[in-house]
Amino acid sequence: MRARMLTLILLIVVVVKDAGLVLAEAPFRMAVFQADVTPPRGHRLLTGHRKPAEAVDEPLQTRGFVLLPEGQQPLVVVSVDWAEIRNAAYDRWRSTLAEAAGTTRERVLLSCIHQHDTPLGDLAAQQLITEAQIDGQIIDPDFHETCVQKAARSLRDALAHAVPVTHCGQGMGRVTELASNRRYLKPDGTATYGRYSGGGSPESRAAEEGIIDPDIRALSFWNGDQAVAVLNVYATHPMSYYGTGRVSIDFPGIARERRQGDDPLVFQIYASGCSGNVTVGKYNSGAHELRPVFADRLYQGMKEAYTTTRRAPIQHVEFRHVPLELPLRTEGRFARSALTADLRNTQDPRRAELAALGLSWADRVERGQPIDVPAIDLGTAVLVLLPAEIYVEYQLLAQRLRPDQFVVVMGYGECGPGYIPIERAWDEGDENLGDWCWVTRGCETRISEALHRVLRAPQRVEMSQIINR
């Protein structure tokens, strides 16, 4: 893997030299990096009832870039083939990568793709499980630290091979028959949120797609006429099937690797958009043969987004971030006393693990540590990172707030909150909010305000304009 990365870097350097460009004169430079983060046999995948790692179908990767604007601190964008990274683990990743890049933690935009047959990182939750002597696992701390250090070392090594970037590219590709909203209407007109990744009832598959973002967005960086890196972002849960014990990058990773093979000179990154309530459930029967089919549909969208790309000179880079505090869920089984009791329930390891995740998040909220909502403004385009399994309506809202810019929104940043719904989901009794959700009502107003501020939107857009369009 490392040899492959060095080959890619050397190829880019050759192109730069052939173009007659001088690195020292470039106001903007970029380095790309990757590292293997595949778990060992026997390691837990996601959490709870899912099988531990028994085999590896495809190795997992961390892939990212460092943007080096002259006179500014570096900016790091990273996508990890893991289910989630939370709380102290999220801080550890960002702090270590920031140190390697010579920047601050806030300027590290770390996102997970969220494939389910991959690890979940939460060091504080793991410590609680260990102290309670539960026969369960969240993450092996030694494995976690090894992955963090490998990613940091790869980043640090890549800085010596940074190349100029002169242009930012923006492209969109339509992805057909892939994404569908969990929410659909039953024949009697009532709403349900029961459309899951692995497929479901004939009723759920016959219903309309619902609210999705049908386009994949490709944000690319160019050295003259040569593309250096492409960040592809699409909003859907990235699973065709899971729970098999076979480590996999699933269909988004397969599509990414296929695009990487199309042109080794162009470094490919994929990140999931805001897709807490978006799955492939409408089009998925659960048959394993559909994984390559879904990969091809996403791949075709990636190709279209790249071929339709329009470039604009990068004239300035501005970084902004705002703090976001989300309301902690404390009713019923989410009360600290109830979570503590569940943690001590050695007869049900999954319930104990969920309690540990909830306590880890509660501790963070109660010590007053907000979530960072960062944005990298490139003039014609802006990249935003939102936390956790946030619903797609927030991505559509961000796009509506800045129609004058190419807005790219990554999800699955700080994953501690779990699902982050819009208010309508609470009103309609969204079934997904039963356990994997550690926030409560009130998120919509706070996130809308954070997006308005970080995007410097000239006018306000109400969520009702998104869901009633």
pLDDT at residue 25, rounded to an integer: 57
pLDDT at residue 243, rounded to an integer: 92
pLDDT at residue 26, rounded to an integer: 74
pLDDT at residue 350, rounded to an integer: 87
Distance linking the first and last C-alpha atoms of the chain: 46
* Distance from chain centroid for Cα 146: 21
Q: In the structure encoding, which two tokens stand for residue 52, read together?
A: 């531990």
Whole-number Å distance between alpha carbons of 401 and 252? 28
pLDDT at residue 13, rounded to an integer: 41
What are the CA-CA distances from residue 294 to residues 38, 289, 435 (Å)? 23, 9, 28
pLDDT at residue 48, rounded to an integer: 62
Whole-number Å distance between alpha carbons of 410 and 412? 7
Helix (H) or strand (E) holding 420: strand 419-420
Determine how many CB atoms are found less than 10 A away from the CB of residue 81: 28
65-78 burial, b at 16+ Cβ within 10 Å, e below that, comes to bbbbbeeeebbbbb
pLDDT at residue 347, rounded to an integer: 80
Question: 320 - beta bridge partners?
Answer: 375
> For residue range 274-283, what is the model confidence (pLDDT) as tens digits?
999 999 999 9
The parts of the chain modelled with pLDDT lower than 50 are: 1-24
Whole-number Å distance between alpha carbons of 251 and 262? 17
Residues in the chain: 469
Whole-number Å distance between alpha carbons of 295 and 353? 32
pLDDT at residue 23, rounded to an integer: 40
DSSP for residue 194: -
Whole-number Å distance between alpha carbons of 9 and 267? 9
> For residue range 188-238, what is the model confidence (pLDDT) as tens digits?
999 999 999 988 789 999 999 999 999 999 999 999 999 999 999 999 999
| Ordered alpha helix ranges (H), 308-435 | 336-343, 349-366, 392-401, 423-427
> For residue range 414-438, what is the model confidence (pLDDT) as tens digits?
999 999 999 999 999 999 999 999 9
pTM of the predicted model, to two decimals? Answer: 0.94
pLDDT at residue 49, rounded to an integer: 57
pLDDT at residue 152, rounded to an integer: 99
Helix (H) or strand (E) holding 62: strand 61-69
DSSP for residue 409: E
Question: 437 - beta bridge partners?
Answer: 418
Nearest-CA neighbor of 353 among 45, 11, 39? 45
Scan for tokens 């404390």, then name that residue: 330
Whole-number Å distance between alpha carbons of 267 and 196? 32
